[in-house]
Structure 1
Amino acid sequence: MPEQTAIPFYYTVRLAPRDPAEMLHGALYDLRRAYYESGKRGRVSSHSAYNGFPCHTQGFLSRHNFKWQRRVGHQLREEAFRFEKGHALLIRNEQGALMGRIVYGPDQQWLRSAYVIPGQAEPQVILQPGPEPGTLLMLTRTGSGSFQKKTLYPAPFAPGTLVQSRINAQYGEPDVTASTSQGDFCYTSREESEKRAQLLRQITSGTVPAMPKWQGESPAPASFHASMPTNEKAYQDTSFLFDDEPAAPSQKEPVSEEKTIDEEKAAGTLPPASAESEGKEETPSDPAPEPGDSVPEPRMAEGTNETPATPEEIVTPQESASPAVTTPPSRCRVTVSARDSYLYFGEMLEGLRHGRGRTQQSNGYTAYEGTYKNGQRDGWGAYYYRSGEPCYVGSFRENKRDGIGVTFQEKEHWIHVGSWQKDAPEGVSSLFDKKGNLLYAGMIENGKKQGAGAVLKGPDGRMFVGKWKDNEPTGEGSAFDREGNLLYTGSWKNGLREGEGTSFDKKGRVVFTGLWHNDRYDTGLHLRRLEDGRESNDEMDEND
């Protein structure tokens, strides 16, 4: 990845979550990069998605002229205007209210990006080139109306790559990113920037693996029979179990620059964010589940029973009749116990976490990143263990996993892919071990395999398809080898062949048909021996 050594030409600058992800490498980036690299005027006309909505974009850029329009449907959302010393790109929300201004100089160099709260004229956050080459300066408006300054330092940034995901897992998703003539960069404090660059060097050199390193070996997963062992312990997914933290009432906003919520008076809500002073160290905001010595039952970082604070307990806007507005990205501290204190980065609404946000543990790892609604996890998000390894990625509703999602069992590293209802797996699911072997694919009810399901047996590729009850194949089912040859079809009980059934050789010829008991021949017709010999438990008594 490149490193900045001089003043770059900024193609695009993004402040998350105020700017959508498309801002970094979208149509505006394409137009400005083509102009900078060729030195010639350029045009763009495209139909694409912007912030999740289909849009039509038209733009023109030359040395002294910049024209730009972006429409979502018939609504004009972005438009460029000329002024005395350059051009300004105005960005509006779906109601037509101004959200931000991007200002370019006479040479088309980026000068600043200003972000406003809809309905207010004065910007709340301003980004502009910093005092040192390659740095950015962030100005955040305080409660007194003045701006607090903070210099942000660049670190290499490669969105969508495995390496960047590994870095973000440790230091969090950066809020400020930019695409420049020298490459892509994220911008953080000097200390964090140096740590990110150091971790990148360690990953590149192979000192630190890009993928989290699994610790220990897991016992063999459960299997089905039909010439398969019967003494293996049945796999039961427990990664969906959470140790709930108690909910508590809310606390009024403390009058201090660093907002704190005590666990005895908090309900998972946050007060309005204060500006971050430069160089100030704070501790993170949400715990992640701790790994256990046995099959882990990760607990939710923020407590699964959070109750939003009542409107009377939250500082409201000066105009009581004015509509609620979402604050710009903010940073504030949350204390949930005497042991745990965390940071929250993201949008807030009337003192509650609302919109896109991220919580960070005291060890620097991300605890949760995703969307909030009225102070609760709601929408798509990613949840992590204290070790920084992923715990759950998927859909949340009212602080509970609800919808499609993936859980990662930390100790044994099983993976559960499926649907969730009220924090429990329900419906069609697939379970895999750490080597990618399919442990189970089928229905799950109340956390157990129930109904139709299939299991693929590791390296030898044998498969069982049938009916399950309480994690065991019970009732009718069939077993196949890796080539798809039918080995057995009939009745099962507790993972063993029991009752009426028929076994086959690899050519599809019947070996035995009749009654089975405890996985052995009982009464029936034995037609032929297997070509490769019979397993000991398939041998018949001389009296049969």
Structure 2
Amino acid sequence: MGIQYFYNFRINEIDDTDLNSDILSAVRKSYFSDFQRIRDKITYDSEGVSLLYDYCIERDRPLQWSVKQPNGTVVQEVMPSDGGKYYICFYHEDQLFKRLLFSKFHTLLKAEYMDENGAVSRSIEPRRIQGGLCLLYKDNAQPEPVALYAAPEVLEKPVREELSASFTDYTAVASTNDGVVWFLSDAQLSHYREFVDLVRNGLAQTIDKSYVDDNAPLYEKINVKDFNIKRNLSASLDIADAKPFAAPAVPKEPIEDIDLKGNSFNEEPDTADFDDFRTEKPTEDQPEKGAEPDKQIMADGAVYSYYGELDDHDNRSGYGRTVTDLGRTAYEGTYYNDKRTGKGAYYYMDGTLCYSGDWSENVRHGVGVGISAKDGSMHIGKWVNNKPEGNGVRVAADGSVKFVCKELSDGSTALMNYLDNDTVVITNYDKNGNRLSEKIISLTNE
């Protein structure tokens, strides 16, 4: 998903806040999940001290936030700023130690740390640069600000554990919608990558042990959610429950919302097929602009036109194409009894291909190619009930192979995960998706 919201910051050298158990982060994460009002009073034990939290966060209202010790000493409180902005102030031994600046929409703008005189000595704030995200770190002891970048994700559990235990050369930490993330300078990033490579190379020579305690399902590991059409409804089309459309074009009565169902795909077409699907110029199978459709349907408040074969009950059956009012293809392929069944190609709302392959009653079922709306990666292989399952290959948008999944004759599955440093993690799962064993192989040393 990537980082969209920051919940809290800390500078590594001077702040020991545990962002994994931070109440402020938890409350803000809950609010940004659905933007619903949150009001509560709780008591939380922190380092042997009971703290009373009293807070309320809601749209278009200033944040209410107060944290006190049992004796009434204020530990955290809200202070207003200009333009509807506000600070949350953090106190240590009755002295202002840190403050977080928020917009009137509750987005985190900056973290500032104070010296013994109450002046700002260090600060960090999010910045967008060349389409990417960084934190701008300022330290009065340094002549220039420094850009900090998020630490690259490490997929292997043993490597992550070693990093967490041993690597300390990072400047700041942020709790985000993407979890707790380290931020490092260019020099620290170089050190980080060297450290990761050393750990991987060492583990490649020694790791060959069971991880039977990790019972997470196999397909949770391969990011099935990336290819969940329902998860990306804002970018996709689904006319699974399309209804026949009848005049008048603007109905007198409100149209009931259509309940969206799951979708499916078709086997990989050749390059020519892809090109035909992307063009809007008429072909023998594509109607001229203004041509009378064989059927009009309404779904989700929009009118779609269908050009193709119909059965005796006026249902889409056989080969056809359903297009939007802008002339973009929603689906082209075979239907049966008004449902996508057989082989066909399905498109996102912007006209880009979503899936091409086998379908069964409007769900992807069989062999097909899915393209993620999230990152442009492709999954080529077997699909079951709308999800990648069994034999398959995941390819990143740049063409690099991310993993190969192979079903073995005994019912188990081998997952070969290709990392960016020419290392492969081979994991074996039983038929229920539980991890049996894992080992890491360096391709450069083979």
Taking structure 1 as the reference length, what is the TM-score of the superposition? 0.33
Q: Which has the higher contact order (CA 8 A, sep 6+)?
A: 2
Of structures 1 and 2, the larger Rg is shown by: 1
Taking structure 2 as the reference length, what is the TM-score of the superposition? 0.40
